[in-house]
Structure 1
């Protein structure tokens, strides 16, 4: 089996991590505001007696690179003796404490101190510090893979830089957002933000940051398989770093250059690039970057078939990783050793190293999750603190409002009493006027009521003449028409029709007499609604022209007189209209009485009519039917179309 080609995924991942740590350093640089300094040395014994000056902050800042724990101890010592009113110095020292934990990859503690500094900065309205700290928190979130939170922090930083009217600092934030998109493998979007960071209109003064951005652009092009462009931007970064003696930038640039040459199988150039990075890191005592560069060299040695030297370097890096307690370095060292063992054919040890690599990766993932959870927890606690502060301010505001409200209510109460007294006087006057007006209106209403009663009575008599006499005369006309047109009718049938005709005429006389005495219909008063309906049905059925039938369900004898009279008149109108206009051969009626309503349904098989046309030309009979029903709060529905008959549904409430 041929020796496998060494995977470059390690190199690319390592580059991303290295540049992220570079960004942390840059943020720390840009987060330190410049002040006037006096003196060249600081006596730590006199710290308790003096306010921290810029030299002291610079000393702590420098120590963060070389010895994070010692830098943190000095920051805490100053914090203990710091004047409570010196909030700016407190913020800067808390930031240094957080940054020292970042260099030790202890992100939980870093987040804790950054958030404490952020709370003070927000309370005091220091927009520039709020922006700087959000930048640092975004870097940590980006490093632990919480890209959404990182993006939110960076956007918050941009907003506060705008509030602070500091456009130069936005350059670093654009660079950081570009790194978020780089980690998400959206290289196009990442390059857009890197280009925005280099925009000439911003004119950034921080050349260290420019070198970092150029390295990041090179990283994107390298990951996007465009090594020529990547090397071009690395050369630009190196020139800037050499000009300003930016040793850290040079170290990172040569690491990245070595990775690209290794990817291109140009091992000699890769070895030279990593060697330069190693020399810089060793001279500056940057143990982490030294380990990264040496591990890159181990990869180069492996490609040059110098397995023994590669083994030696990889094991030394593993020892350095354990000494630094760096899981990332430890993981990368185990992966490199696994690749080396595999290439020399020792698959058993290769598998053992790969297991260690996998185990370390799981620890990194677990720590990442813990950091993300801790970040969420701290954010939640900060929100709770803000809510508590807002609640206290709200209570103070409520108390102030209550005092104002009490004064206002007292004033309103006095004015209200005065207003009530005026209203009472006005009410008495209006009552007197209203009483006189009521007497006049009652007199007018009595006159109008008498006139209205006369009009309504005439209207009622007219309606009853139409409904009652019209029906009886229509029935008589029906019988007379049959007698006149049918000459072949049997004598017995003729006699029966004549008797029915005479009976209709007699009933018409009786109805006229009843109307004249303002009485209910005679047929209804004698037999009730059901009996009256049967009488009507029998009379209609005596003619061969129309067959009529009916059903009743739950109909009671003691039905309300007004409802009973209304239903009877309605039935008469329906029968009258069917005989006169429907040309129907069958008519069916159904009356159903429930607990709360009574329903009348009538259906014929006549020629029907267009209801819209009838409404336009107004029907005297139908309008009176509807008027009677609505006077009892009832409803009437008519369903009719030409050549398919007519259905009339009436519902009257009983209560």
Structure 2
């Protein structure tokens, strides 16, 4: 399989997934007067979720269950767009309960399909198939062509991504049901997907579907659809027919569609393809010119400002949830206080003698309420710290991905372009080129090392216990020895987010031992009891007074405790001066 066919396959999976998840409801229901869609288009997810919450509550109150399910499906899409898959699934399950209770079959079908697609996003392919088959069963009962097409699309994506032999079967099913649909966009989407699959398999019928997709794209009149299809046509001419001139005509048509460069993503694809076509034709000057244009757009798309803005929205959303929860609890306490005050005043006016008793009771109640508010405030601070650290983890993962998948690839591309000019250089220039290559290699190595520091590759590939064992071995030396013991099965894996959080919690605790304990021996043990993971870290260092933990952040234990609490876990510290330290952590898996 060629490089471009692999790229086309990846692009197909991404496009098919996005279009599937963005089409839970009927396209006819999405009008410009819909405030949820309005806020989504304005990139205001917080307002969209707030509006959806009010709309769903109103629909339940008025017993408009069909509209309730539509709103909840759209609300799930908003959570999915900000990568909050847990809330996206929970929202769909809430809607499913109402749909099943009121026997809303078409809504059940759409909800099952949404749950299946979300499970596919998290690589839970068995669950994904289970729910998509449920959706397909209901669609067959209703004999609804649109629902049948949508359910089969979800199954097509799962089978295509897992390399199943059933891809052709689902392609035929989708072709049959979509041919009866009057939805032009649905037909365009299917033809576009068919072309990618057939061309990836080397089937010449792919060109026929690609031409059909282009015809429907022009009928719909959406520039993005036309541009994406033209890019696909150009790749077909360039890689299959080896007709680079005809490919360039298609790519330049895309550039004409966006004279003001208003779609950076599509234009970056076109610039990259144009650069490659010119390179194949031997015109390296133009190839470099368009490669530079591609690099400029790619840098704009991948800039830190975009990541920072996205992270800020996600962090604000998490903190806002915590603050709302705190305000709600505080309001309940204030209501109780007001009610108790009225009762005390009433009894005091009737029973003077009893008033003294109630006075002391009232003071005691106030003290308890103040302690509750103080506890809530402490809990809020822990959650804010945890939300901030989670945001840092997400940012670390995003930066690592950009460094590994994009920046490293760009540096490699620069090296290839330098090679293209070597034959036309003088000896002195060749020496300078060698120095440039050496500097480029150093940059590439530093980018790779930084990516590994942000997210250890061993943690991603082999799992938590292998990464922790490697961490102990790397930190051991002649002055300090780290022992590692695990009773977990060798192949045991946890959810990636869970493994990531546990790894950095343990890493921070080991750093504390190295920096502050003056120990010569330390031991890390992990074991699984029931559905809980137990972690024990002990050292023979100088220890410390545990009563001073909350008075200083020097050891970072406050932040670590916040993270453990946010994972519904417990952390116990046993230490005395000159007697070492033992830390026990228990978390739900």
Q: 1:336 is matched with which residue: 267, 273, 286?
A: 273
What aligned pairs does 1:6-155 form with structure 2 within 5 A after superposition?
6-27=4-25, 29=27, 32=29, 61=30, 71=32, 75=33, 93-99=34-40, 101=41, 108-109=43-44, 111-121=45-55, 124=58, 126=60, 132-143=70-81, 146=83, 149-155=84-90
Deviation at 1:416, TM superposition (A): 9.3
Deviation at 1:290, TM superposition (A): 2.0
Q: 2:109 is matched with which residue: 163, 171, 192?
A: 171
Give the equivalent residue in structure 2 for 1:296. 232
1:133-156 CA distances to partner (integer Å, 9 max, x unpaired)? 453344345446x2xx13322222
Give the equivalent residue in structure 2 for 1:641. none
Give the equivalent residue in structure 2 for 1:259. 196
Alpha-carbon contact 2:95-2:111 (below 8 Å) kept: no
Instruction: Tell me how far apart the structure 2 counterparts of residues 383 and 12 of structure 1 sit (CA, whole Å).
Output: 38
What aligned pairs does 1:203-282 form with structure 2 within 5 A after superposition?
207-226=145-164, 229-266=166-203, 268-282=204-218
Structure with bigger RCO (C-alpha 8 Å, 6+ apart): 1
Deviation at 1:355, TM superposition (A): 4.9
Deviation at 1:258, TM superposition (A): 0.3
1:535-591 CA distances to partner (integer Å, 9 max, x unpaired)? xxxxxxxxxxxxxxxxxxxxxxxxxxxxxxxxxxxxxxxxxxxxxxxxxxxxxxxxx
Give the equivalent residue in structure 1 for 2:309. 370
Deviation at 1:257, TM superposition (A): 0.7
Alpha-carbon contact 2:20-2:117 (below 8 Å) kept: no
How does the TM-score come out when normalised to structure 1?
A: 0.46
Alpha-carbon contact 2:76-2:91 (below 8 Å) kept: no
Q: 2:94 is matched with which residue: 150, 154, 159?
A: 159
Tell me the secondary structure at the aligned position of residue 278 of structure 2: helix
Alpha-carbon contact 2:8-2:196 (below 8 Å) kept: no
Alpha-carbon contact 1:338-1:354 (below 8 Å) kept: yes
Instruction: Tell me how far apart the structure 1 counterparts of residues 347 and 143 of structure 2 sit (CA, whole Å).
Output: 58
Give the equivalent residue in structure 1 for 2:246. 309
Alpha-carbon contact 1:171-1:204 (below 8 Å) kept: no
Tell me the secondary structure at the aligned position of residue 242 of structure 2: coil
Deviation at 1:114, TM superposition (A): 1.2
Match status 1:380 vs 2:319: yes
Instruction: Tell me how far apart the structure 2 counterparts of residues 350 and 141 of structure 1 sit (CA, whole Å).
Output: 41
Alpha-carbon contact 1:211-1:240 (below 8 Å) kept: yes
Taking a change above 3 Å as real, the CA distance of residues 407 and 203 of structure 1, as seen in their structure-2 partners, is farther
Tell me the secondary structure at the aligned position of residue 309 of structure 2: helix
Instruction: Tell me how far apart the structure 1 counterparts of residues 216 and 227 of structure 2 sit (CA, whole Å).
Output: 12
Instruction: Tell me how far apart the structure 1 counterparts of residues 340 and 125 of structure 2 sit (CA, whole Å).
Output: 56
Instruction: Tell me how far apart the structure 2 counterparts of residues 204 and 369 of structure 1 sit (CA, whole Å).
Output: 46
What aligned pairs does 1:545-560 form with structure 2 within 5 A after superposition?
none
Instruction: Tell me how far apart the structure 1 counterparts of residues 288 and 80 of structure 2 sit (CA, whole Å).
Output: 31
Taking a change above 3 Å as real, the CA distance of residues 29 and 292 of structure 1, as seen in their structure-2 partners, is same
Instruction: Tell me how far apart the structure 2 counterparts of residues 304 and 185 of structure 1 sit (CA, whole Å).
Output: 36
Match status 1:195 vs 2:133: yes
Give the equivalent residue in structure 2 for 1:399. 338
Instruction: Tell me how far apart the structure 1 counterparts of residues 271 and 71 of structure 2 sit (CA, whole Å).
Output: 35
> Displaced runs of 4+ in structure 1, greater than 6 A?
415-418
Aligned length: 347
Deviation at 1:205, TM superposition (A): 7.6
Instruction: Tell me how far apart the structure 2 counterparts of residues 298 and 229 of structure 1 sit (CA, whole Å).
Output: 29
Name stretches of at least 5 consecutive residues in structure 1 with no aligned partner. Answer: 33-60, 63-70, 76-92, 419-655
Name stretches of at least 5 consecutive residues in structure 2 with no aligned partner. Answer: 358-589
Tell me the secondary structure at the aligned position of residue 305 of structure 1: coil
Alpha-carbon contact 1:222-1:230 (below 8 Å) kept: yes
Instruction: Tell me how far apart the structure 1 counterparts of residues 121 and 81 of structure 2 sit (CA, whole Å).
Output: 9
Taking a change above 3 Å as real, the CA distance of residues 345 and 405 of structure 1, as seen in their structure-2 partners, is farther
Instruction: Tell me how far apart the structure 1 counterparts of residues 309 and 75 of structure 2 sit (CA, whole Å).
Output: 16
How does the TM-score come out when normalised to structure 2?
A: 0.51
1:319-340 CA distances to partner (integer Å, 9 max, x unpaired)? 4356683333223323333443
Alpha-carbon contact 1:27-1:135 (below 8 Å) kept: yes
Give the equivalent residue in structure 1 for 2:476. none
Instruction: Tell me how far apart the structure 2 counterparts of residues 368 and 407 of structure 1 sit (CA, whole Å).
Output: 59
